[in-house]
A and B are shown apart, each in its own frame.
Chain A
Amino acid sequence: MTTIAELPPGFADKVLSAQSTFRSVMDAMARPGSVQRIVPMADAPETMMRGTAAIALTLFDHDTPLWLDARMSESSDMVKWLKFHTGAPIVRDSSVASFALISDGALLPALERFALGTSEYPDRSTTVIVQVESLDTGHSFELRGPGIDGVATLQAAIKPADLFERLRVNEALFPRGIDVVLVADDAVVAIPRTTRVVNKGSK
């Protein structure tokens, strides 16, 4: 059993590292499909990528109920690390979560099980952070929507393979919906609910 002292540390400089990480995530959200890099690194327990760890340290706290996929919630080191560094309450009910961490796309539940917000408060929705294999090689996708000058293209190897098809629910739900942040090591791509993605096949 790991004690607190043996947990991987958080940011070396939590103020400036959080700022830099946030700007990468903000730029990713403002320009869907663009690949942003997260520079400051924190050591993370297994099953968590460096980028995911930095985002967790930047955005999670006691105000953000957090839902973990089965693989993450089974790792006691992971749960301890998150609780110690962020204080975020870990919840079993995904429909009340501010954030969801998906270490393995195969474990992504139906998107309707997350908080979708209400028509009056569409911001009260879950931001789903999905760890993926690659954000520079793989299938080719075309993205359109606010934040994109015409069309953006994204090369990515993503599980579940039908993630973007599933995200089409956002079209009918808007302004309610699910915002997704994809992480591959230190690379981040955001797919807010306004983005429409078309699969252009493998390259």
Chain B
Amino acid sequence: MNAPAYNFAYLDEQTKRMIRRAILKAIAIPGYQVPFASREMPMPYGWGTGGVQVTAAILGPQDVLKVIDQGSDDTTNAISIRKFFAKTAGVATTTATDEATVIQTRHRIPETALHENQVLVYQVPIPEPLRFLEPRETETRRMHALAEYGLMHVKLYEDIARFGHIATAYAYPVKVNARYVMDPSPTPKFDNPKMDNCPALQLFGAGREKRIYAIPPYTQVVSLDFEDHPFEPYRFNAPCALCGAENSYLDEIVTDDKGGRMFVCSDTDYCEGRQAAGHHGSLSAAPYKERAQGGSHG
């Protein structure tokens, strides 16, 4: 199959215009969810159709694209979306955060600090932070219109009453530019501080729910909290077993059925970069040994 059968970056031009107009309004009203006429994409809902449409609308031949899924460049979702744009747009792809101009992400913000010439595109499953508190769209829309966010604070308070702390660990609600409460997509709350005053433009696409929203660069993003229960990012209290990083977000990997486990960076590019720079963790020899024995496959 050859790419020229498709328009550049798959979407037709009328669709791109519609999405581009939505992106401009989203940037002008930080944190507000702009409705858009989401299209069917050649992948199922839940696989990043919103992010893919945003990426398709902004991508140009000069761009270098990186796609991550839970921080990893080499999971099925990340690889298939990267290949999709390599095929339909012919763009260069990379796994290095530094080199990318457009980064599409599912559920993580890279550990490496982003810079001004980058756009971070989030895949969003449920864009409405109030949806599980109030199922009616007419009501949540009015709550946003009136900046009536008491319900969200009640939810966080109930967490404290029940668990003694705010138990929301991902999709932790934020307030953007002191106005709209926004769902940062299911990123771990560890990543929330990276959204604040970020030099890169952040765009969010929800395909099934047909919403696009944005955080312009250098915009205040505050995680909701209480004076006596301030927001705290969470990470496993361990160094990465492969690169020894003490400040990265970790995945817990179960290694046997006897309770064995290891913690490794969820951001594979960051972890590999650190290992290449000579950092080691307690188990860092293991994957190299495996690779040497594995031989042909890999």
List A residues at the B interface (Cβ < 8 Å): 14-16, 18-20, 22-23, 25-26, 29-31, 58-61, 63-64, 98, 118-123, 125, 127, 146-150, 174-175, 177, 179, 192-194
Q: Of B7, B22, B32, B215, which is within 8 A of A122 by CB? A: B32
B146 touches A26 (CB 8 A): no
Q: Which residue of B lies closest to A152 (CB)?
A: B218
Kindly list the 7 A-B residue pairs having the minimum CB-CB distance in the complex, ordered from nearest: A119-B145, A192-B28, A147-B216, A123-B25, A146-B219, A146-B216, A149-B218
Q: Which residue of A lies closest to B179 (CB)?
A: A175
B14 touches A61 (CB 8 A): yes
Q: Which residue of A lies closest to B62 (CB)?
A: A20
Shortest distance between the CB of B118 and any CB in chain A (Å): 11
B218 touches A147 (CB 8 A): yes
Alpha-carbon gap, A146 to B179, bound state (A): 12
Q: Of B58, B141, B146, B219, which is within 8 A of A147 by CB? A: B219
Q: Is the interface of B mostly helix, strand, loop or mixed?
A: mixed
Query: In this assembly, does B29 line the interface, its C-beta being within 8 Å of a C-beta of chain A?
Result: yes
Chain B hits for A25, CB < 8 A = 24
Chain B hits for A121, CB < 8 A = 35, 141
Q: Which residue of B lies closest to A57 (CB)?
A: B17
Query: In this assembly, does B210 line the interface, its C-beta being within 8 Å of a C-beta of chain A?
Result: no
B216 touches A123 (CB 8 A): no
Q: Show 7 A/B contacts (Cβ-Cβ < 8 Å), sorted by A.
A: A15-B13, A29-B24, A30-B217, A59-B17, A146-B220, A147-B216, A194-B177
Q: Of B7, B8, B27, B32, which is within 8 A of A175 by CB? A: B32
Known: A119-B145, A194-B177. A18 touches B16 (CB 8 A): yes
Query: In this assembly, does B20 line the interface, its C-beta being within 8 Å of a C-beta of chain A?
Result: yes
Query: In this assembly, does B34 line the interface, its C-beta being within 8 Å of a C-beta of chain A?
Result: yes
Q: Which residue of B lies closest to A98 (CB)?
A: B21
Instruction: For chain B, residues 260 to 287, give those with C-beta under 8 angstroms from any C-beta of chain A.
Output: none
Alpha-carbon gap, A79 to B180, bound state (A): 39
Alpha-carbon gap, A58 to B24, bound state (A): 12
Query: In this assembly, does B242 line the interface, its C-beta being within 8 Å of a C-beta of chain A?
Result: no
Chain A hits for B32, CB < 8 A = 122-123, 175
Contact with A along B124-149 (1 / 0, CB 8 A): 00000000000000000110111000
Known: A16-B61, A22-B20, A120-B142. A193 touches B218 (CB 8 A): no
Q: Which residue of A lies closest to B145 (CB)?
A: A119
Known: A122-B32, A123-B34, A194-B28. 11 other contacts (CB 8 A): A18-B13, A19-B8, A19-B9, A20-B60, A26-B201, A58-B17, A119-B146, A147-B219, A149-B217, A179-B24, A179-B25
Q: Which residue of B lies closest to A99 (CB)?
A: B21
Shortest distance between the CB of B182 and any CB in chain A (Å): 13
Shortest distance between the CB of A1 and any CB in chain B (Å): 30
Alpha-carbon gap, A190 to B187, bound state (A): 31
Chain B hits for A146, CB < 8 A = 30, 177, 215-220
Chain B hits for A19, CB < 8 A = 8-9, 16, 58-60
Most buried by A among B13, B20, B26: B20
Query: In this assembly, does B193 line the interface, its C-beta being within 8 Å of a C-beta of chain A?
Result: no
Chain A hits for B201, CB < 8 A = 26, 30
Chain A hits for B27, CB < 8 A = 26, 29-30, 147, 192
B28 touches A179 (CB 8 A): yes
Shortest distance between the CB of A54 and any CB in chain B (Å): 13
Q: Which residue of A lies closest to B8 (CB)?
A: A15
Chain B hits for A59, CB < 8 A = 17, 20-21, 24
Chain B hits for A31, CB < 8 A = 216-217
Shortest distance between the CB of B177 and any CB in chain A (Å): 5
Instruction: For chain B, residues 163 to 204, give those with C-beta under 8 angstroms from any C-beta of chain A.
Output: 177, 179-180, 199, 201
Query: In this assembly, does B121 line the interface, its C-beta being within 8 Å of a C-beta of chain A?
Result: no
Shortest distance between the CB of B38 and any CB in chain A (Å): 15
Chain B hits for A125, CB < 8 A = 25
Chain B hits for A179, CB < 8 A = 24-25, 28
Chain B hits for A16, CB < 8 A = 8, 60-61
Shortest distance between the CB of B165 and any CB in chain A (Å): 31
B30 touches A194 (CB 8 A): yes
Shortest distance between the CB of A98 and any CB in chain B (Å): 7
